[in-house]
Amino acid sequence: MHTRLFGAFPLKTSHKGLRRAATVALAGGLLLTASPLAAPAQAATPIPSITAKGGFLLDQADGKPVYGKANSTRRQMASTTKLVTAITVLTIPGVDLNKKVTVKAEYRNYVAREGASTADLRTGDKLTVRQLLSGLMLPSGCDAAYALADTFGTGTTTSARTKSFIGKMNAKAKQLGLVNTKFDSFDGISTTGNNYTTPWDLAKLARHAMSSSVFREVVKPTSYKAAATTSTGGTRTYTWYNTNKLLGSYSGAIGVKTGTGTAAGPCLVFAATRNGKTYTGVVLASTTGDNRFTDAAKLLDFGFASTTARTMELRSLPAGAQRD
């Protein structure tokens, strides 16, 4: 067994193999203690060192923490915000995933004005809510985020509806007891700097999202094709590639969302399952876009007592695919 101290409370978790005894005091208030197993089945698994300024890993099954670094420090989260956009939609009572949404010119104009990542939604096309969720989460479409916020917010104007939807996102964080998380946007493009979270809070949000089978289905594939009806009655096929390069690179990876911003730096929310065990985690403000994936692999290796990160080769995105 491994004993980890979370605040003043000892947590018991079991892992395969022997880990060397170590106690590390981590910024943000998480004290992690690893002690050796009685039977040395494998080589020791050291506590990982990551380049990201903040990180967290938890057991998806029970929410118990496994690793933390600056876990209670508030940081901007860029497009990992869209994870909350998606789960806010999915937890609206009676939500119809087959509901058709017509793409407005203002969604495209917004993306062009902000220089934002896009699902390249075409004005007048009709896509289902389910398709928009894929356009939101795979290519990190800010146009898809706008469409969903406009559709599921309340009010007589687009501005009122999107503001209402952001209110629903904040209500979701409050419902989960997250006091260090706040949203001022539906996609992570913050104009006030009041779009922040902590590694610990975002990991809890991710755990909540990953409890949804539809959400898991949306974030898992490396690519997705959506057939939409055009304004003239024809069919347009959208092909979106997942910006999360951990998928297809780390064995067992099942999601979930990238994010990159000037203030936030490269961010990643991630999850993986092996042998029936799932870990969910977060890295915020990594040093480079690719280092966030290596950081995530190191944390997952710590959970699974494996060494995949040492030899992992990242999946390449096709030319022209969105980067986030």
Out of 69, 79, 172, 298, the active site residue is: 79
Q: Which of 13, 16, 24 is nearest to 43 (CA)?
A: 16
Q: Confirm if 261 and 78 have CB atoms less than 8 A apart.
A: yes
DSSP collapsed to 3 states, the chain: CEEEEECCEEEEECCCCCCCCEEEEECCCEEEEECCCCCCCCCCCCCCCCCCCEEEEEECCCCCEEEEECCCCCEECHHHHHHHHHHHHHCCCCCCCCCEEECCHHHHHHHHHHCCCCCCCCCCCEEEHHHHHHHHHCCCCHHHHHHHHHHHCCCCCHHHHHHHHHHHHHHHHHHCCCCCCECCCCCCCCCCCCCEECHHHHHHHHHHHCCCHHHHHHHCCCEEEEEEECCCCCEEEEEEECCCCCCCCCCCEEEEEEEEECCCEEEEEEEEEECCEEEEEEEECCCCCCHHHHHHHHHHHHHHCCCHHHCCCCCCCCCCCCCC
Out of 69, 82, 172, 298, the active site residue is: 82
Out of 140, 185, 190, 249, the active site residue is: 140
Catalytic status, residue 174: no
Residue 226 Cα distances to 2, 88, 107, 135, angstroms: 46, 22, 18, 9
Catalytic status, residue 212: no
Catalytic status, residue 298: no
* Residues designated catalytic: 79, 82, 140
